[in-house]
């Protein structure tokens, strides 16, 4: 639950084809034609470093954003597709290879999917219709949750935030159709517009299912009212950033006392968790408010809501009219002009639901042992630099310093792929039952995850699949994790010089490493336990430095992009720390080698060009606004300009002067490390 990634999981889309990747000139390391020389580096470094790249890479119609990450993701996806097509075409495939081949084949078989129409969901919809009382509501909800449908809440497994050697159950709010509570509570014109588009979308899907138009309208109203009520009761994203606020372990009896009508004992027994021990309730006020939904007068609205949840979450795997209507909402929220082509949807789905079976083959073909060794060495050097920095930080007392160094010492780096691959024994995948496969794989995955409760922790486990172009830090595991998918050129190139590698993948390693000490990460100790190891004065000094970053990013908010400094502060701190520490690691590495100028750029300049090229790209305005309300990561442009304008090293490398837009005045400059 406490995972801080480099990027929020990308909702829609990839694009372009492998041919275009080559045609665009996939340079290793850094390509000088990415630069737009008409922009001054000290005025807008993002536009300077990336203008050429951006001009060559317009956003494809099926994407809401396209940046350097997406270009790599696209290549990774092409390889995944080849693996899946080979598995599907191989009559001798067995075990998990046969499963992923059949899964992919069932998804690609559009004719079979069209023939079925809405039929696959009819039995579930009928079961919901048959709910007659709060007892049968709890039973049916347990059944839907087992199948992987999100409604009202999520029940999952997590490491106990205060005892990271234990795996416990948690209950967290879930089940809104729009991306965040803010979409239901905000009164501005754009929010109103999105809500009315959402209501029209709900009615359209109910009509497609076969409900009469007048009934579908009523159902849409009911769903919007019901979800708005749920949304108002949820913690805001900013409030939920405080891990102490979301840690509320309870016995089942306490949970039952909080919302007696829910029938928690019955629900947990249905989910085979009656003896689960403590359950971490992340948002008790929300769970308390849920009680009213389980009283008899609320039943008709809850049933409509549950039918909606089944229908909307099934739509992408039903026939085209349903999938198209699903995309219609996506278009409003993110601005894509066309849905993803079929093979990409199918590849992503298998990656999401059977990631280790696909990833195992994917890694064999794309990630060398030499690359793993080189990245491990970089992770060590960055950790050493951060340790040296902590040893000399003027604002940190010796007591806190000792805790920070112990935490850094215990930090583990997982590079490339998991130590043990998961298998999918017992999962039944049918070659001609796409919707059924999605449900079966979702249910299997969920059961696997819940099966961890009460068991020892697997230290080598990855929370992202190998082809993923992302990375994360886990506070509860105190580990940084880099899937092989991100350790690819141009971000990481074993053949490229240090300057580019440190600016690109080095800054990512620094980003994840310093997450251990951001506004949330610092609350976990070396063992991954939520425990305050900071002296009050040091906590105050840190908070003042974090406030500088909050103020800086609040200053970028506009009516179109309602950026919230308190939402993005953790990521902005990690970006700042990552760039700072990786730069020092480069300086250290350079002491051992002669400094060379390449393409007319010094190593220092190339470091910052490497950093900026990560975020080269464009995003549609719909997406940017949606993300500002729901994503803890700032927009790409600010991740570059906001970060680098704090660094004197950047100003020095490009000879920027006081007063230049890329140089924040000395008294406003933010620095943590
Ligand atoms: Zn991050």
- Return the pLDDT at 494: 79
The H or E element containing residue 206 is helix 189-209
Predicted confidence at residue 541, as pLDDT, reads 97
The pLDDT of 54-80, averaged and rounded, is 95
**Domain boundary assignment for the chain:** 130-295, 367-420+458-668
- Give residue 317 CA to ligand 1 midpoint distance, Å: 31
Confidence of residue 254 (pLDDT cuts 50, 70, 90): very high
Average pLDDT for the chain = 93
Query: Which residues have C-beta within 8 Å of that of residue 608, sequence separation ≥ 6?
Result: 45, 49, 503, 644, 650, 653, 654
The answer to whether 320 and 328 are in contact (CB under 8 A) is: no
C-alpha to C-alpha distance for 23 and 288, rounded to whole angstroms? 57
Q: What mean pLDDT is predicted for residues 251-256?
A: 95
| CATH, domain range 367-420+458-668 | 3.40.390.10
Pick the more confident residue, 1 or 151.
151
Q: What is the DSSP string of 240-252?
A: GG-TTTT--EE-H
Residue 487 backbone dihedrals phi, psi, to 5 degrees: -90, 55
| Residue 29 scores a pLDDT above 90 | no
CA of 485 to the centre of ligand 1 (A): 16
What pLDDT is recorded for position 1? 47
Q: Is the pLDDT of residue 604 over 90?
A: yes
Report CA(566)–ligand 1 centroid distance (Å). 14
Q: How far is the CA of 268 from the centre of ligand 1 (A)?
A: 34
Q: Is the pLDDT of residue 594 over 80?
A: no
Whether the predicted pLDDT of 5 surpasses 80 = no
Question: Could you tell me which residue, 390 or 7, shows the higher pLDDT?
Answer: 390
Q: For residue 490, is the peptide bond before it cis, meaning its omega torsion is within 30 degrees of 0?
A: yes
3 state SS of 158: strand
For residue 57, count other CB atoms closer than 10 A to its CB: 22
pLDDT tens profile 234-253: 999 999 999 999 999 999 99
- Per-residue pLDDT tens digits for 76-107: 999 999 999 999 999 999 999 999 999 999 99
Q: How far is the CA of 30 from the centre of ligand 1 (A)?
A: 23
Q: What distance separates the 2 farthest-apart alpha carbons in the chain?
A: 78
Q: 355 C-alpha to center of ligand 1: Å?
A: 22
Supply the pLDDT for residue 514: 96
Predicted TM-score (pTM) of this structure? 0.92
Residue 318 Cα to ligand 1 midpoint, Å, equals 35
- Tell me, in angstroms, the distance from the centre of ligand 1 to residue 514's CA: 9
Q: Quote the percentage of the chain above a pLDDT of 90.
A: 89
The three state secondary structure string of 604-660 is HHHHHHHHHHHCCEEECHHHHHHHHHHCCCCCHHHHHHHHHCCCHHHHHHCCCCCCC
CATH tag, 130-295: 1.10.1380.10
Quick one: pLDDT at residue 22?
27
Q: Is 13 a residue whose pLDDT tops 60? A: no
CA of 522 to the centre of ligand 1 (A): 14
Asked if 641 and 625 touch (Cβ cutoff 8 Å), the reply is no
Q: Is the pLDDT of residue 19 over 70?
A: no
8 alpha carbon – ligand 1 mean position (Å) = 9
The reported pLDDT for the residue numbered 6 is 64
Please name the residues in contact with 390: beta carbons below 8 A apart, sequence gap of 6 or more: 396, 401, 404, 405, 408, 673
Distance between Cα 659 and ligand 1 center (Å): 30
Q: What is the pLDDT of residue 4?
A: 59
> How far is Cα 519 from Cα 242, in angstroms, rounded to an integer?
9
Residue of higher predicted confidence among 477 and 28? 477
Check residue 8 and give its pLDDT: 59
Do 130-295 and 367-420+458-668 have matching folds? no
Tell me, what's the pLDDT at 370? 85
- Ligand 1 center to 523 CA (angstroms): 16
């Amino acid at each position: 639950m406490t995972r801080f990634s480099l990027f929020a999981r990308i909702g829609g889309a990839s694009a372009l084809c492998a041919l275009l990747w080559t045609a665009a000139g996939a340079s290793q390391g850094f390509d000088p034609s990415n630069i737009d020389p008409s922009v001054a580096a000290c005025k807008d470094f993002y536009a300077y470093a990336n203008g050429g790249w951006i001009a060559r890479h317009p956003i494809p119609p099926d994407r809401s954003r396209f940046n350097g990450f997406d270009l790599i993701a696209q290549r990774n996806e092409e390889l995944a597709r080849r693996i899946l097509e080979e598995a599907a075409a191989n009559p001798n495939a067995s075990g998990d290879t046969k499963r992923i081949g059949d899964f992919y084949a069932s998804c690609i078989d559009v004719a079979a999917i069209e023939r079925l129409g809405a039929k696959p969901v009819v039995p579930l919809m009928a079961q919901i219709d048959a709910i007659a009382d709060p007892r049968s509501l709890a039973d049916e909800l347990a059944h839907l949750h087992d199948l992987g449908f999100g409604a009202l809440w999520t029940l999952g497994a997590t490491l106990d935030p205060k005892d990271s050697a234990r795996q416990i159950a948690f209950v967290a709010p879930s089940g809104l159709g729009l991306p965040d509570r803010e979409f239901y509570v905000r009164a501005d014109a754009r929010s109103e517009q999105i809500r009315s588009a959402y209501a029209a979308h709900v009615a359209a899907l109910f009509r497609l299912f076969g409900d009469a138009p007048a009934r579908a309208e009523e159902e849409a109203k009911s769903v919007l009212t019901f979800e708005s009520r749920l949304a108002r009761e949820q913690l805001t994203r900013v409030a939920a950033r405080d891990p102490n606020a979301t840690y509320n372990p309870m016995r089942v009896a306490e949970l039952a006392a909080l919302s007696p009508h829910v029938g928690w004992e019955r629900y947990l027994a249905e989910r085979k968790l009656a003896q689960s021990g403590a359950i971490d309730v992340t948002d008790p006020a929300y769970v308390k408010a849920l009680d009213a939904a389980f009283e008899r007068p609320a039943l008709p609205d809850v049933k409509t809501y549950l039918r909606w949840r089944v229908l909307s979450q099934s739509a992408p795997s039903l026939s085209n009219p349903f999938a198209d209507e699903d995309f219609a909402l996506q278009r409003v929220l993110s601005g894509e002009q066309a849905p993803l082509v079929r093979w990409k949807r199918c590849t992503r789905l298998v990656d999401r639901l059977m990631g280790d079976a696909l990833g195992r083959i994917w890694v064999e073909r794309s990630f060398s042992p030499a690359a793993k060794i080189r990245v491990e060495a970089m992770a060590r050097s960055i950790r050493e630099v951060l340790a040296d920095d902590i040893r000399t930080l003027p604002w940190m007392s010796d007591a806190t310093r000792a805790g920070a160094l112990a935490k850094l010492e215990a930090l583990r780096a997982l590079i490339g792929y998991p130590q043990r691959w998961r298998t999918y024994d017992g999962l039944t995948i049918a070659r001609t039952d796409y919707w059924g496969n999605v449900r079966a794989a979702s249910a299997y995955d969920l059961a696997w995850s819940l099966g961890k409760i009460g068991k020892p922790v697997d230290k080598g486990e990855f929370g992202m699949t190998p082809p993923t172009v992302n990375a994360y830090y886990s506070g509860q595991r105190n580990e940084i994790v880099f899937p092989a998918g991100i350790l690819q050129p141009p971000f990481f190139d074993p053949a490229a010089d240090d300057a580019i590698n440190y600016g690109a993948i080095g800054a990512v390693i620094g980003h994840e490493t310093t997450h251990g000490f951001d506004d949330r990460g610092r609350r976990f100790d070396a063992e991954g336990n939520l425990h305050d190891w900071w002296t009050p004065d040091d906590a105050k000094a840190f908070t003042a430095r974090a406030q500088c970053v909050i103020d800086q990013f609040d200053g970028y908010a506009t009516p179109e992009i309602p950026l919230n400094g308190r939402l993005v502060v953790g990521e902005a701190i990690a970006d700042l720390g990552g760039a700072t520490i990786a730069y020092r690691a480069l300086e250290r590495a350079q002491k051992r080698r002669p400094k060379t100028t390449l393409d007319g750029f010094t190593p220092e300049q190339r470091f910052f060009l490497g950093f900026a090229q990560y975020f080269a790209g464009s995003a549609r305005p719909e997406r940017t606004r949606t993300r500002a309300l729901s994503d803890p990561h700032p927009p790409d442009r600010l991740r570059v300009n906001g970060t680098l304008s704090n660094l004197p090293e950047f100003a020095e490398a490009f000879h920027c002067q006081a007063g230049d837009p890329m140089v924040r005045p000395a008294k406003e400059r933010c620095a943590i490390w």
